[in-house]
Structure formats: C-alpha cells, structure tokens
Amino acid sequence: MRIVAFMLATAALSVVVGSCLWAWASDGFWETIPLYPCVAAAGTLAGLGLALVSTVNGLRVRSRRGWNMTQLLPELRYLPGGLVLDGELVAWRKGVPYFPLLTRRLLNRDRSIAVTFMAFDLLEIDGRSLLGTRLDARRSPLESLELNSSYWMTPEAFADGPELYGAVCDHGLEGVVAKKRTSLYRPGERGWVKTKNPDYWRRDGEREAMARKHKRRALAHI
C-alpha cells in the first residue's frame, strides 16, 4: 500500500447527556464515541488542509481531492521513512489554526507562512498495512513514533466528549471528529462523525457554499 483514498466523516449534531456526548449522524445512529480534536476542520471542509503523507520511497503529499502537494511542503521531507499517515495541515495565527493563512501558503505558495502537519492516523509502517487494524491499535504505534516538532505533531486523543467539545467551542475552533476505537480504516467510506461548533466564524459562509452546490446539482438534473 502507498497513497490510498481518505476515510471520510459524516456531519452530525451533538447532545450532552450526563457525562457523555452523543452524536446523531445523518445515517441514523446514536453513539457515545471517543472524540479526537478537529483543530483545523475548516481545511477538512474545503478539502485543502486534509493530507495523506507517504514517506515510502521518498516523500509524497496528496490532498483529499488528489492534488499533489509534495513540492509545496519541503519541510515534511524530514519525516521518518516507511510511513503512510492521514492528517491535516494547519497554519497558525496567535496559536490558533487559521485557514486563510493555510490557503496563502498552499495556493499562493507563500513559504513565509509556517505550517504543521497534524498526524491523526497511521496507515502503514515499514511495509506493513494497518488498514485492517483497529483504531486503538493504530494509535499505539503512531504515538510511539513521537512525531513532535515544529513541522509535525500527533494530537492527543480525548475520551471526555463534553469537556473537549466545550473547550473547542470556547476557543472558537470548528468542531470535533469522533471515531470508534474499534473502527478499521476504510478508504473512501464514511465511518467517522464530525460535530461542528455552531458559532464557528466560517459557518454561515460554509452553509451558503453548500446551498449553492446543492442548487447547481439540482439544476444539472433538470
């Protein structure tokens, strides 16, 4: 395995019941599931910040939509070899992820803007595919790599949904992504749940963009 298709998330609403955060997804299931910080979910929505990074036989970086970003991110060439990682690119403003700076770095090729690759998942290590391995079993070798530097890091995973979601909203971040600890990585399928901050600063613009997209699709079928 080298570069594969992304596993995707389903948008959801959230309800706090006691000490659990329950997610109601559009495919109709309720679950209390462990939550992972979605620190740069604006990039996730736009399909720009999400990245699959392979260091098998050299560096390759690909966006969710297939854009080859390898030449735009020379700092990632120092990642350990033999890995395939699923994660997200983040540009920071005053210690907070700021999507406009990320677009300037990637679209305008402004290398004065530093970016960090957030490694959320490990899909291959030293020739061994982990796609058929549970999430908690994939996290263990990912964390053992200690990918923490100015250019990449492995965000912490959280089990306290309400506390994490509250902190994300308090800090103006976009939301959280919930993943089952027993889940396998299924490229191209939707198996995670994304719960958004209702007061996120880009939310209204995102809704308008989605409405225009659905309108174009409807018109195309007339």
Q: Is 220 helix (H, G, I), strand (E, B) or coil?
A: helix
Q: Dihedral sign for Cα 27, 13, 6, 125, please.
A: negative
Domain ranges of the chain: 8-220
From first to last of its 222 residues, what are the pLDDT tens digits of the chain? 455 676 766 665 544 444 444 444 444 443 444 444 433 222 232 335 678 899 998 999 998 888 899 999 999 999 999 999 998 898 888 887 888 899 999 999 999 999 999 898 899 999 999 999 988 899 899 999 999 998 999 888 776 666 777 887 887 777 777 777 788 888 888 777 777 777 776 666 555 655 666 667 767 766
Q: Is CATH 3.30.470.30 the classification given to domain 8-220?
A: yes
Q: Any residues with CB less than 8 A from the CB of 96 and at least 6 apart, and which?
A: 171, 172, 173
